[in-house]
Amino acid sequence: MKELFEKVFSNQHLTRLETQQVAEKIFEGQLTDSQIAAFLTALKCKGETAEEMAGIAETIQRKAVIIDCQKENVMDNCGTGGDRSGSFNISTTAAFVLAAGGVTVAKHGNRSISSKSGSADLFECLGVDITLSPDKLSTVLNEVGLAFLFAPHMHPNMKYVMNVRKELGTPTILNLIGPLTNPVRLDSQLMGTYRRDLLEETAKTLGELGRKRAVVVNGSGNLDEATLAGTTHFALLEEQRITMHTIEPEEFGFARLPIEAIQGGKAEQNTEILLSILKNQASPYLDTVLLNAGLGFFSNGKVSSVQAGILLAKECVASGEAFDKLQQLIKVQKEVA
């Protein structure tokens, strides 16, 4: 361990295997909080690589609980968080639209860390039980085509880094790889990141972790979502090739609006916003979700373009199918509970 720590402290990158060796010690509780904090800080200062992200993500996944999913082409659409934008829960809302469009979504997430409301807080406010056992979650996912996987329950060994993350109070590689550690084997993914400089590296990591197709997105203002505020940058992983792209809101008929237009609040306020969107009430919130759901359909391969994805998202919301998917999730959760 001492040699590997010195390597990172000397601003050198670790290999995938070396990172796994350190991660194994971390997630078995064999390192002190001071050692973990020093390691995470050193990685952040030197800059994280795809090899390092893959090494930690694989270690966390290997220790995760097992969710039995019988569906094909399963995806997730969670982001890293950490952008400090104060926006509402965009990806959580978009998950209902994606599921309504026939995509199986294993929505992986946590409580609020840097924002006022995390995905877990919102699901709880909606009446969804986030504490279901793995076998019951498997039933929900297979029957509804959408389930919320509460990260602390999926990854019990993450308890060894909880205090450090809170005390550091800044995003680290654990934020960057959180969306990579879904316990369900994913075929595709839409992942948001607050680090535009790591778009290509993150897409590369997703490929190394077995994703057949993925989009890693960074919005204007470095949001971990696509936004209407300006240019959205994204990396597309397709057939093991990575290409870089940009999109503008005007391309899809959306008005350019400041980030303040999609401000959220605590879980109760964000729940009201989500319900207004699923009920197709016109607003910047709705347009933002349509853009992100459109990217989700494109990421999944359900459609061949972002434009087609947005059109599908509009149909899912306008028809009431996205709102119905929420009701179905709540109903089935209560039945299995």
pLDDT digits 0-9 by tens, 119-148? 999 999 999 999 999 999 999 999 999 999
pLDDT digits 0-9 by tens, 234-289? 999 999 999 999 999 999 999 999 999 999 999 999 999 999 999 999 999 999 99
92 is annotated as contributing to ligand binding: yes
The strands making up 105-109's β-sheet, listed across from edge to edge, are 146-150, 105-109, 75-76, 188-192, 213-218, 232-238, 241-247
225 is annotated as contributing to ligand binding: yes
Domain ranges of the chain: 1-63, 74-154+168-336
How does residue 192 score in pLDDT terms, banded at 50, 70 and 90?
Answer: very high
Neighbouring residues of 99: CB distance < 8 A, sequence distance ≥ 6: 105, 144, 145, 146, 322, 325
The string of DSSP codes covering 182-205 is -SS--SEEEEE-S-GGGHHHHHHH
224 is annotated as contributing to ligand binding: yes
Q: Could you write out the three-class secondary structure of 135-151?
A: HHHHHHHHHHCEEEEEH
329 with 244: CB under 8 angstroms? no
Classified as helix, coil or strand, 301 is: coil
Gap between the Cα atoms of 108 and 180, Å rounded: 9
319 is annotated as contributing to ligand binding: no
How does residue 82 score in pLDDT terms, banded at 50, 70 and 90?
Answer: confident
Gap between the Cα atoms of 168 and 157, Å rounded: 19
Architecture (CATH level 2) of domain 74-154+168-336:
3-Layer(aba) Sandwich (3.40)
266 is annotated as contributing to ligand binding: no
By percentage, how much of the chain surpasses pLDDT 70? 99
255 with 230: CB under 8 angstroms? no
Amino acid at 17: L
Residue reference for tokens 């997730």? 76
The string of DSSP codes covering 97-131 is HHHHTT--EEEEE-S-SSSS--HHHHHHHTT--TT
110 is annotated as contributing to ligand binding: yes
82 is annotated as contributing to ligand binding: yes
302 is annotated as contributing to ligand binding: no
Q: What CATH fold (topology level) applies to the domain 1-63?
A: 1.20.970
pLDDT value at 7 more than 70: yes
19 is annotated as contributing to ligand binding: no
Q: What is the mean pLDDT of the chain?
A: 95
Could you tell me the two tokens for 204? 């590369």
124 is annotated as contributing to ligand binding: no
117 is annotated as contributing to ligand binding: no
Q: Given this model, what pLDDT does residue 114 score?
A: 54
209 with 202: CB under 8 angstroms? no
Q: Given this model, what pLDDT does residue 158 score?
A: 93
103 with 302: CB under 8 angstroms? yes
305 is annotated as contributing to ligand binding: no
83 is annotated as contributing to ligand binding: yes
304 is annotated as contributing to ligand binding: no
153 is annotated as contributing to ligand binding: no
Neighbouring residues of 155: CB distance < 8 A, sequence distance ≥ 6: 60, 63, 64, 65, 181, 183
Amino acid at 328: Q
* Same fold yes or no, 1-63 and 74-154+168-336: no
pLDDT digits 0-9 by tens, 150-186? 999 999 999 999 999 989 988 899 988 989 999 999 9
pLDDT (average), residues 194-223: 95
Could you tell me the two tokens for 146? 């959408």
273 with 282: CB under 8 angstroms? no
pLDDT value at 83 more than 90: no
211 is annotated as contributing to ligand binding: no
109 is annotated as contributing to ligand binding: yes
Q: Given this model, what pLDDT does residue 113 score?
A: 60
Q: What is the pTM of this model?
A: 0.93
84 is annotated as contributing to ligand binding: no
Rg of the chain's alpha carbons, rounded to an integer? 19
114 is annotated as contributing to ligand binding: yes
**Beta-sheet strands, E only, within 166-296:** 188-192, 213-218, 232-238, 241-247
